[in-house]
Structure 1
Amino acid sequence: MSRGFVKEDDQEETPLVPPRADLPEGVTNFVTENGMAELLAEKQALIEEKSAIEASTEQEKRIASNFINAKIRLLDERIAVAKIVNLSEQPQDEIRFGATVTLKIGTISKHQTYQLVGVDEADISKNKISFISPIAKILIGKKVGEKAILKLAKEDRIFEIMEICY
């Protein structure tokens, strides 16, 4: 039956699902082993959340289920194209995907440590930055003792590589 002949109360809204972290078209979805484990754990948590839905009406349950299904579809798309990078195969003396890098930033005496990870694993509060971020792009290929310059609107920020480990 055409949707034009049903009551407005019967119509369900299409769930609006927030997009996942941006991965530009044509960029390989590199992940660490830990990043893949986190994606799979997120999927499992969504499946469990879906099975535990409690709603007062069947319509509310359907809407909640549709929302979780949409999130799972986005997650499945990301997992399907993920490429796990074996960190032991990375050049150990050079910054590549998965490296944990200790940096001296500008004239600040305290060193900062970051890991270059996949877009879904990136979390600045955990000192994990996406491999497609501007900082990661200027660091890739550098070695201990080298400097990378990030051009900002008002200044250039200089990053000196102090240590690289995988």
Structure 2
Amino acid sequence: MPDPRPNYITPRGFAALRAEYDRLFADERPKLVETISWAAGNGDRSENGDYIYGRKRLREIDRTLGRLSAKMKAAKVVDPAQQADRSRVYFGATVTIADEDDTQRTLTIVGNDEADAGKGLVGWDSPIARALRGAGIGDLRRITLPSGEREYEVIAITYPG
């Protein structure tokens, strides 16, 4: 059963999904089919490493293509630059927050498929993003993280464009 919630994604994130799909479909998959075809013509397939590996890799690529296709079909592309209310935290916002020790962090709230904590990209449905939704500068938000509960103050909110 499909998830009833929209799968928000930025235009950049959607383009990355599309580029990965196109690369696999138009480049990697045809080369692999050619290799499998060549390997199949070499006789006994039960001990043919190129054939066995090729078939396995082809199944992986097809599963990935199916997953990417489903993600793109469910995606709702939202351009953060078009956000009308820039005074509050919504999808696509870059937010600077400070904890009780005045340690600051800057996060950008992106689609779940784009999240990369190491780069400061936080998924829309992550606990920190859910807690920050709708917050304005100066608001305090209590966030439950794996390390425990922390309180953060919203210091700055920006949007691209």
- Which interval holds the TM-score relative to the shorter structure? 0.7 to 0.9
Aligned match of 2:88: 94
Deviation at 1:89, TM superposition (A): 2.9
**Aligned: 1:66 with 2:44:** no
CA shift for structure 1 position 152: 5.6
Structure 1: gaps spanning 5 or more residues: 1-23
How far does residue 150 in structure 1 lie from its aligned partner after superposition?
Answer: 1.4
Partners of 1:152 and 1:28 lie apart in 2 by 24
Instruction: Indicate conservation of the 8 Å contact 2:138/2:155, yes or no.
Output: yes
Asked if 1:106 is matched to 2:100, the reply is yes
SS of 2:114's equivalent? coil
Q: TM-score, normalised by structure 1?
A: 0.77
**Shift of the alpha carbon at 1:81?**
1.2
Q: Which runs of 5 or more residues in structure 2 are unaligned? A: 37-48
Residue 155 to residue 129, structure 1, CA distance change in 2 (3 Å):
closer
More helix by share: 2
Instruction: Give SS of 1:143's match.
Output: coil
Corresponding position of 2:11: 33
Q: Secondary structure of the residue that 2:138 maps to in structure 1?
A: coil
Give the secondary-structure state (helix, strand or coil) at the position aligned to 1:159: strand
RMSD: 2.1
